[in-house]
């Protein structure tokens, strides 16, 4: 499974900040840590901010900190901020044919399993040392 770049950066940023909610990190700090573009990360942080998961960021050097609930926020909550919702996508050509319909059922099954996985893992669980 491949996530869009924004989604991946959103997960990186939310998880890194959630590691210690007292700590503030700038887009540049986070970009350096993960070896990605700070411009792209700044945009991602604004999206996380609008969702109430992080706060801060005055200017380029402004720091962000995590303001969400680690136990209640799941990977799916973050993925959903950056990826189109499964029910919202436009109809593909050929979907109304029997083959198109059969293919659609297979893809839906895969989506449902992926969603169950992402929705069942909280940031808290992700940040816990593995047993």
| C-alpha span between 9 and 36 (Å, rounded) | 8
Q: Which of residues 112-131 bind another protein (CB under 8 A)?
A: 112-113, 116-117, 119-122, 124-125, 128, 130-131
Contact 123, 73 (CB under 8 A): yes
Q: Minimum CB separation from another protein for residue 116, in Å? A: 4
DSSP code string of 59-72: STT-EEEE-S-TTT
CB-hemisphere CA count at 13 Å for 128?
9
Is residue 110 a contact point for another protein (CB under 8 A)? no
Q: Minimum CB separation from another protein for residue 124, in Å? A: 7
Binding site for another protein (CB under 8 A): 74, 112-113, 116-117, 119-122, 124-125, 128, 130-131
């Amino acid at each position: 499974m491949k996530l869009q770049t924004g989604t991946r950066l959103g997960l990186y940023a939310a998880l890194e900040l959630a590691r210690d909610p007292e700590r503030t990190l700038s887009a540049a700090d986070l970009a350096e840590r993960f070896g990605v573009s700070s411009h792209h990360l700044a945009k991602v942080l604004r999206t996380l901010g609008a969702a109430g998961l992080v706060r801060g960021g005055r200017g380029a050097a402004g720091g962000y900190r995590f303001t969400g609930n680690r136990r209640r926020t799941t990977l799916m909550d973050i993925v959903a901020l950056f990826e189109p919702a499964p029910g919202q996508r436009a109809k593909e050509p050929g979907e109304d044919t029997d083959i198109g319909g059969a293919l659609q059922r297979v893809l839906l099954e895969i989506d449902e399993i992926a969603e169950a996985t992402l929705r069942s893992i909280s940031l808290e669980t992700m940040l816990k040392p593995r047993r």
